[in-house]
Structure 1
Amino acid sequence: MARRATTDGKAGTRGGGRTVTSYDVAQRAGVSQSAVSRCFTTGTSVSPQTRERIMKAAAALGYQPNAIARSLTTKRSNLVAVVVANLGFNPELTATLSRLFASRDLNLLLFTLDHEEDADRVVNQLWQYRVDGVLSATHLPRGHIEQLAKRRVPVVFLNRVYDDIAVNSVCCDQVEGERWLVDRLWAAGHRRFAIVSGPDSSLVSRQRVSGARDRIAALGGDEPAVAIGDFTYDGGRAAMRALAAEARRPDAVICANDMMAIGCIDEIRLEMKLKVPKDMSVVGFDGAAPGRWGSYALTSVRQPVDVMIEAAIDMLTARVDNPAMATEKRVFSGELQIGVSARLG
């Protein structure tokens, strides 16, 4: 039950149950109402003495700023929609997003897609919320991008690039990372390559697969067998079973993400009764935490997730402030993470 404010200064609602407002705090602290507003707005200037008086008054009255009322005044909700795909969902990404958004005093509204091509539902839901912008870690059709632009809602894509439309994007250099992996495997003497891809609908998977295939071809290698996975552990195991049935067993398996690589390793060890990397090398891409567990110690390309998300937030907030800014694409190199899952030269 809410407590009433009394002459002894205890926190609670005002007499009669009325909600405490910034005006009440200003009266008690002996400052202007605008000073109270500045005190609770990130990035504004208030002297230390004034801030102390306001915070003491707010604590005594039990005052909390009203985010909805403030958004009506500032024309900002401090709410950003984040769109990700359920398939191969990376909880580390969400944790990093939440932490970095919170450090900017921004709130995250998370939308998930069962498949990247299933974007209609999410975009239709977006209009129910007053978001300042959208950060999408999944592909959106051109029509939806045009709708967002028409409504003056800036969007930045994370690890998604478009060649046929001008969009803001931040991504890891997928082709460079695959080249690093193939070069090291080739130098170690591997010649029978296989690839475990993600779903055909995944642009990131297509970039990684084409990067690996093109580099193998450039080195004079044979066309690798390709098994389609779904970015999950079970998908990796199923893909490895399909590759094991090939007439020419691979000696190096390049996976489009780390979870499928872990699935491949377990299938090789537990069902094929072979040793990794003595009999078969396995590499991934992402640098996900499970890949660093001692029983896998996966060789992979680790994406600079924190740096990429910081850049994406900077790009997005700049366009919230200035919607007329030109589109921008930023590409970051990954980091080759050497483990024990592959024999490398």
Structure 2
Amino acid sequence: MEKIGRPEAEEQPSPGQQRQAARPALTARDLADLIGVSQSTVSRAFSKGTSVSPKTRAFVLDQAERLGYRPNVIASFLSRRASSIVGVVTADFTSPVYIDMLDRLSVRMQELDIHPLLFNLQAGADAGDQLAVLRQYNIDTVIVISGRISHMSVAKWAADGRQVILMNRDIPDMAIASVRCDNSASSLVADHLYELGLRRVAFVGGPESSAVSAEREQAFVRRVAELGMVLCGREGGREFTHQAGFEETRAVLAARPEAIFYATDRLAIGGLDALAWSGGLSVPGDVSVVGFDNIDMASWPGVQLTTVHHDVPQIVDEAIELLQQIREGREGVRKHLVRGDLVVRATTGPAKR
């Protein structure tokens, strides 16, 4: 049925909407000319902590809202070196450790009004390759959470007057800021297994290119030799995944170890599943299992993994302190090693007699 009566009035666009539809977006210079202030005053009004009076700031912001002006923050970053934006380079978004680290780091940075610009590397890529891309963004400082990085890449970046903070790794012979877990804590694993009366041990590591895996293996193997234990098996060369831990455990069992130490908890949890499916082998009755990182899953009731604690909150705190030192031009210690402690749970036990 046709509706009879007064036709409804169509909603009319506001004056601000009409202006926006009729012309391109306002620039800072356009706004300054329209309201009778300098372009630098407009810029300062939209920036925290700048020298502009509250009255002037309120006036500029009110007029900007009235005229439909929005500052182009990205364009501002690209036009100059911006100390309020920091590049964050990482890889392996499946890693619980790196995800936790990135989460905590980004929250802390934003609390300090520092804006993280995230770059995700492909598996096996060199983080140094990303530094060339970061130059296009006029970024002064970059934090590398994970991924390989070469001496030459860092040297070129530093020679350009820029700063690098390495997390989870270090370049010992370069004056580069770094904070990382003390991977020599792997020696505590050997001590623990020795005290339990276990003598035949094996190691399961990650990619051959991983400095983290290499450091953990070296510390463990060195202490095993000092204690007169036997390293009866060693597997590695693949990524830090559950599947890799599962398959490499099945391979290392041929050496009949009494205990297996894994470079990460993810590998160790894959190993626990492999042992559960092996038939006839119990943990820790037949084989003790130890990981490294103390991820949340390690403490789950159905897992209860003995592991080495990777103090992510402390590492992030140290990284933020390094970042503030760099931004404020303060002197201070630029290389930090965060201690790792053994957390004993249900996957290790005395040797069978």
Q: Given the two structures, how large is their TM-score scaled by the length of structure 2?
A: 0.79
1:76 aligns with 2:78: no
Q: Deviations over 1:114-151 (max 9, x none)?
A: 215x4564344333332221211233111111110122
Q: Deviations over 1:155-190 (max 9, x none)?
A: 111111223333211011111x21333322222222
- How much does 1:5 deviate? 6.0
Distance 1:274 1:36 in 2: 71
Per the alignment, residue 290 of structure 1 pairs with 297
- How much does 1:222 deviate? 2.2
Identify if the C-alpha distance between structure 1 residues 61 and 242 changes in structure 2 by more than 3 Å, giving closer, same or farther: same
Distance 2:24 2:103 in 1: 38
Per the alignment, residue 221 of structure 1 pairs with 229
- How much does 1:317 deviate? 4.6
- How much does 1:60 deviate? 5.3
1:66 aligns with 2:75: no
What amino acid maps onto 2:81 in structure 1?
K
Flag the structure with larger Rg: 2
Query: Residues 113 and 119 of structure 1 are in contact (CA less than 8 Å); yes or no, is this contact kept in structure 2?
Result: no
- How much does 1:235 deviate? 0.9
What amino acid maps onto 2:205 in structure 1?
S
1:131 aligns with 2:139: yes
Query: Residues 132 and 320 of structure 1 are in contact (CA less than 8 Å); yes or no, is this contact kept in structure 2?
Result: no
Aligned pairs (5 A) from 1:135-154:
135-136=143-144, 137-154=146-163
Distance 2:280 2:69 in 1: 65
Distance 2:343 2:317 in 1: 22
Query: Residues 44 and 52 of structure 2 are in contact (CA less than 8 Å); yes or no, is this contact kept in structure 1?
Result: yes
Q: Deviations over 1:65-101 (max 9, x none)?
A: 3213543676316333323333974433333333333
- How much does 1:319 deviate? 2.5
Identify if the C-alpha distance between structure 1 residues 13 and 316 changes in structure 2 by more than 3 Å, giving closer, same or farther: farther
1:253 aligns with one of 254, 260, 263: 260
Distance 2:340 2:136 in 1: 37
Identify if the C-alpha distance between structure 1 residues 223 and 69 changes in structure 2 by more than 3 Å, giving closer, same or farther: closer
Moved more, 330-339 or 71-80: 71-80
Per the alignment, residue 160 of structure 1 pairs with 169
1:271 aligns with one of 264, 273, 278: 278
1:262 aligns with 2:263: no
1:110 aligns with 2:86: no
- Please state whether the residue corresponding to 2:342 is helix, strand or coil: strand
1:195 aligns with 2:203: yes
Q: Report percent identity of matched pairs.
A: 33
Identify if the C-alpha distance between structure 1 residues 252 and 73 changes in structure 2 by more than 3 Å, giving closer, same or farther: same
Gaps of 5+ in 2: 1-11
What amino acid maps onto 1:19 in structure 2?
A
Identify if the C-alpha distance between structure 1 residues 87 and 252 changes in structure 2 by more than 3 Å, giving closer, same or farther: farther
Distance 1:238 1:72 in 2: 47
Q: Deviations over 1:189-226 (max 9, x none)?
A: 22221111112211111111111112222223223522
Query: Residues 77 and 137 of structure 2 are in contact (CA less than 8 Å); yes or no, is this contact kept in structure 1?
Result: no
Q: Given the two structures, how large is their TM-score scaled by the length of structure 1?
A: 0.80
Distance 2:342 2:131 in 1: 36
- Please state whether the residue corresponding to 1:216 is helix, strand or coil: helix
Between the two proteins, the alignment pairs up a number of residues equal to 335
How big is the alpha-carbon RMSD for the aligned residues of Structure 1 and Structure 2?
Answer: 3.6
Q: Deviations over 1:8-52 (max 9, x none)?
A: xx7896584453566888899999876764554345587888777
Distance 1:166 1:103 in 2: 28
